[in-house]
Structure 1
């Protein structure tokens, strides 16, 4: 069971506690008088709502079953590298035990949106931090995660580190950082980039995760007006793909629509581009359902901790002899192109990443398009 510190009313679009008052920041019932509002004016109006440095607070129990279903949806029956040698930890058979640390970025299956259906945007998105219309078409653009409590230099035992753990009641503190008007280079289309920061603190009030997210807001589309589909480039040949991964650590994915649906359900993300194919293709011009940006982000982190943290982490962050509980210091990432259901792509980093304190990781489609870029920073090497 998950708990939350606020009381949700029918009129509430932003399900957070702000002092002793509830405030509604939904854009679904507000319209600017001008048909072509100035992006800078909209950005300034948005920031004025948060000019006092407000924080929005929620508390939630990190229940075992949610983490179990999330990891299985990611096709990972074991949470941590090395744990497969103990079959009773297979998540198909048993929930993770109390106190189990959440792998990097798996906190995204908690603190999900909580609105009544009528509050959601036309495209299904959570409008809690939307600017005014027409900038309501939201996409996850990038950001960074930091794990300050996972420093192996401070403790050799994961049980003594400040980590998010199954069974703990965690506090999420959210604040708005920025809202900047920008222009899409290829089309000249205006957009707003909203920066939000989330702190996740354990029951001891220790900072476990610092999560900074950038959302792009573009002008809403008219569902009655058809749009052209994004063309599909030719995929590289098997020989070319094999050549492109020489000297690399890599993993290949081809996400099914069922996987996208399950990921949407577990993150309570109603954004229609991820599961409503007619909306994705006919309204937004995608050629299929779109793979979630956070799903690719987690794939980058999973590759790193499987291939790199095992090499670096044995004996440093292990809670048990057969498990490697090891986190990076941080990741900075940026989405650059959509990934589509039913299309192969690879998560790639150099073999030298095992030795580097900062490793570049890429999500690359099988046609060669770079879809996400990230840099994962390890903790300083110790001898």
Structure 2
């Protein structure tokens, strides 16, 4: 049996016209000899009524809401979509079955808001496929062993799709979105961004980690471990139009191209600590870890240390700093921009990047690098210009 998992995001399911393409892509896959499983997200984005954020806004105080109740509410958007899509498929004369994540066999832990899949029982899905029934599965969710409904965190529908693909030993997972595939930059930021036709699991994982929004990094991990190829496709253009193929790809050792893509992560805050007491500073990182605060771009100087955090965690970091009694400042309004590529052993890479930005009056607040990335921190108000400058100077 040739199994294909097709996943559709919010902008692919929010109108009848968009959903008609789901059915077309599904029928094309059936004509190619596949047994399809459809994974769907909630319809659209806020303020559309069935979007996840719209549903959560019904809560009297989202920050103080019971986590179990919050997850229960958040999963409703995907369930609505499964019913609508499955009924539209049935209207075309094809049998379909709407399933929650739990009904599809997805078992999670009980970490509300960011559940992790611990097992997938594929029996029900295989039974439906053997009966020529198309399962339409609610993405972004699963059920714990004790029967609690949980979400898998933002981007969780991608995780649902690739986790199912891995568990079922699928031939292919198709992720449908509103762009043509993985690009050399966000096409909404860089007009002349180019499509990357084929990319290795490791490279696309890094792209996702550093801000590319086409696929969740955890979703890449599931596919990579099971060696299930992924195709990133434009919903409206269909499964035969280009896209990006993600799989094990042998690197061209003769290629002279050092840079492959530019990504960005907004909503960053910069923390600057003056050296006063090493014992207090050592305690800081343990406390931040306990609060599940991720820190990045750590730079250490003789008189201070600097790193960045997510801006939405700023209040928690403030509390920890004040409790310890450190002398510090936290400033928000920053964007982390990362240039991807093969840079190990290539001299002058950072200098070239900094020079390109400075020549366009874009100030770099700090930087970090590895063998495959160089990241710079810039003011968010200059981020779009910075991404375009780097794309023009390094990739085009």
Give TM-score, length-normalised by structure 2: 0.28
Query: Which structure carries more relative contact order (alpha carbon 8 Å, separation 6+)?
Result: 1
**Whose Rg is larger?**
2
